[in-house]
Structure 1
């Protein structure tokens, strides 16, 4: 029988986007978020708003998590939702965590009689609302098969990567690349400005060149316009993900000097108060232009 009842726990920009997509695709959706007002737009579209995480989890066939970090997963999933969920509940976790944490979480969920599918996603909030994400799925093959209808609703591509931890590893590899690109773009602009080049012209030229990418073009426009809110991907989450990469690399005795430098830049950005701005705000470390 196809899954129809999904509880979405975590309504940041990505969680809200995925919940909207599922709701508009015919799923019965229950939503919960620590900040209750984030649920109001979804309630207006027909979603049931739970009063607690336990209320959200009770009776749901699937718990779809979209949470900021490992601490939030601990609090929400292991601090209430899992205990309230019924036997056999499928946990589809889109949160970005370390591979080691993903493996431990999968074991803990299994010990509670439920099933966890890692479903890290690549894309932005608009793509989430349109069902255009790329989903990096890992876990038991049968669990992934059961989750497929949900995964294929939120994403136009689903990669099946094998055991738990591999989805997190692939997501972090992508975010490593994103962080390094943004840090290097900010430095390139800083260098160009110091040589007398017009900042807006330089950013437009880079965005339209063969040196660019979809991600770099998007962030170059944000840098050019000084438009860092609402964030497509918060700077503090970029910094968190780079820290996760470096911690995993250390356990493998792997040196990642470029990532170390980028992580330091995003840490400085968070320290100066830009943590909730888009990661493109890293340019503020090098320029006096807002």
Structure 2
């Protein structure tokens, strides 16, 4: 009789068999580190990306590589994807994953895409009998490589339960946000708030300096006062102030301004669809559009340079 434990995510919870066969589609700056952490956790990873360089790096990290997504998803227990946008996510899942991966496999999309497409793809998966979650991440490239991402997960409870062991191997926190699409909703709301927060922090430091306050002195005061926020105390946009951040490396690395702009565009699209009022989110999008036009590769905290 065939041993079915390795083909079931439930095998990760009974202490008998923690190894799973996982397809990973999309091995860019984030996906490459995430796939490597799945290998470190003892899983067998079947990797695919259009980039030969990304495939080579994945192979060096211990992944088995494939020339197309359909081959990668054959016989797996789970599929994880980290792709650039909703159009590509929909194309990959409807064309290469649904109907080609085993129906017992759990489908996990970690891309940041629009809520409507996330729900459309989940509906298509459910219609064919698959469990699927949207699980966008917070944490950036360093967290992806270090296995300290936070996952915001949308999907039915049984799908979340099946996905959690996979996600836990790549992150420090896995949080169920509710039904399909709610992971994306949490991500774009969070990043809209982060963008607004960073602009406010940059404005405050810039004005403090113009008024004659030393940046470190202002940090010492505001970081223990009512103006305290993550953008100040964990990711200060002023070089040499607070914990080390991209500002200490000429705003290189971290979370690219172009990616922040992408998330703000998704947030404004969702606000329009839902009828939400987001005047500060809209203004943040305008400011990041101007900044990212010439500085898209720089960290989003570099927006202080425009002030």
- Taking structure 2 as the reference length, the TM-score comes to 0.82
Matched, 1:71 2:93: no
Higher helix fraction (1 or 2): 1
Deviates more, 1:174-183 or 1:213-222: 213-222
Matched, 1:285 2:306: yes
The SS at the match of 2:103 is coil
Max radius of gyration: which structure? 2
Matched, 1:156 2:185: no
Rounded to whole Å, the distance in 2 between the matches of 1:49 and 1:206 is 52
Matched, 1:228 2:251: yes
**CA displacement 1:195-232 (0-9 Å, x = unmatched):** 4556x6478658955444444432425464353333x2
Rounded to whole Å, the distance in 1 between the matches of 2:205 and 2:91 is 41
**CA displacement 1:72-98 (0-9 Å, x = unmatched):** 313433343335323333210111122
Deviates more, 1:63-72 or 1:78-87: 78-87
**CA displacement 1:25-73 (0-9 Å, x = unmatched):** 1000122222221232331231111112222222222110112221231
Deviates more, 1:166-175 or 1:117-126: 117-126
Rounded to whole Å, the distance in 2 between the matches of 1:131 and 1:275 is 25
The SS at the match of 1:182 is helix
Determine if contact 2:246/2:299 at 8 Å carries over to the other structure: no
What's 2:282 paired with?
260
Equivalent residues, number: 283
**Structure 2 CA distance for partners of 1:18 and 1:207, relative to 1, 3 Å:** farther
Q: Which residue of 146, 160, 166 maps to 1:144?
A: 160
Q: Which residue of 267, 276, 279 maps to 1:245?
A: 267
Give the RMSD, CA atoms, in angstroms.
Answer: 2.5
* Structure number with higher relative contact order (C-alpha < 8 Å, ≥ 6 residues apart): 1
What's 2:12 paired with?
none
Rounded to whole Å, the distance in 1 between the matches of 2:218 and 2:296 is 23
Gaps of 5+ in 1: none
Rounded to whole Å, the distance in 2 between the matches of 1:9 and 1:281 is 31
**CA displacement 1:226-256 (0-9 Å, x = unmatched):** 53333x2221221121122122222232211
What's 2:145 paired with?
129
Deviates more, 1:22-31 or 1:122-131: 122-131
What's 2:75 paired with?
59
Gaps of 5+ in 2: 10-19, 240-244
Rounded to whole Å, the distance in 2 between the matches of 1:6 and 1:136 is 20
**Structure 2 CA distance for partners of 1:193 and 1:111, relative to 1, 3 Å:** same
Rounded to whole Å, the distance in 1 between the matches of 2:77 and 2:280 is 43
Determine if contact 2:90/2:117 at 8 Å carries over to the other structure: no
